[in-house]
Structure 1
Amino acid sequence: MRYRRTDVVERAIEVLDEHGLDALSMRRLAGDLGVQPGALYHHFTNKDALLAAIADEILRRGRRPAEIMAWDAEAHLLCLGLRDAMRRHRDGALLIARVHRSDAEALEQPLRSALARAGADADLARVGARTLVRLVLAHEADDDADVALGLGLVLDGLRTRLA
């Protein structure tokens, strides 16, 4: 049977949820799909490319609908969407944090754009976005109220800088 890239990613997410990130390998995934491990390289050049695709899909599923809103409300929703996406899957936070280390741009860009629209210069947009993403990644397992307080503190600081 021939599998599409989306089929492979879907099964990889199922393996992640069932067994965790440490157990997710190209060999295990190929076995689950009933193909030789080399067949997966048709879709992904290596395991890191597979992990990036899984993280992208998890994040895509966690996105909240975009609306025209104030930059700070948008940033808040983006952070909540990231947190929701990470918490929806076993080891989701670990996977997204691992991918983020090698490709910070993917998670930070929507926040940078919101900050830039608010008038932030390139440095403030970059550091502000990175701070928000790292806060969410670091506090994935914390109480919702603690995360909300942390987000509020960072957003208050950004509002002050932008005023």
Structure 2
Amino acid sequence: MANSLDDVVTAALGVLDEYGLEFCSMRRVAGALGVQPSALYHHVENKQTLLSLMAARLVDGVEIDADVAASMGRFRAAMLAVRDGAEVVATAAAFGLTDSPIEAALAERVGRDVARTLMIYVVGHTQATQLHRQAAAVGAIALDPDLDASFARGLAIICRA
């Protein structure tokens, strides 16, 4: 049975969650699907395209509404749900691999500059949180119990500005 683009993205997210972005290779995604790596290129042009699709899937369905802080909490939760999720979203944004519907929806509510600031803050804090939690999980550092509260405090500062 042939795999669909949806199957490829789902497999890539599964590999990401299990191994992290560093080891999320086209070869490993193909292995998860039981196909040769070349079969993936029937669906995606390159790994960058796959990363943009992964980023879009990670945040698909995140609702941006009048409660900006709650909206950003949902955005953060979506990225935290998958290992290195924030790094995938940050990579896709940094390399201009995809337009962010989250940022566009935010810009309609709070303006372009505040939306950009929120995106940088939320993705950056989430990336740092994921890295910190991974390091704590392997015993490299003690888990900081203030990560969620510090996120909320920073968000409140930005939203007040």
TM-score (norm 1): 0.79
Match of 2:106 in 1: 111
Question: Aligned match of 2:118 in 125, 129, 132?
Answer: 132
Partner in structure 1 of residue 159 of structure 2: 155
- Give structure 1 regions of 4+ aligned residues with deviation exceeding 4 angstroms: none
Deviation string for 1:38-83 (max 9, x for gaps)? 211111111011011111111115x14x66xx4xx1x223211211
Give distance in 2, aligned partners of 1:35 and 1:138.
Answer: 35
> Percent identity, aligned pairs only?
40
Q: Of Structure 1 and Structure 2, which has the larger fraction of its residues in helix?
A: 1
Normalising by structure 2, report the TM-score. 0.80
Question: Who is 2:79 aligned against?
Answer: 86
Q: Residues of 2 paired with 1:154 and 1:105: CA distance?
A: 23
Tell me how large the CA RMSD over aligned residues is. Answer: 1.7
Partner of 1:118: none
Deviation at 1:23, TM superposition (A): 0.7
Q: How many residues align?
A: 141
For 2:86, give the aligned amino acid.
A
- 1:11 aligns with 11
1:68-117 C-alpha deviation (Å, 9 max, x unpaired): xx4xx1x22321121101111111111111111123740411110112xx
Structure 2: gaps (5+ residues): 130-145
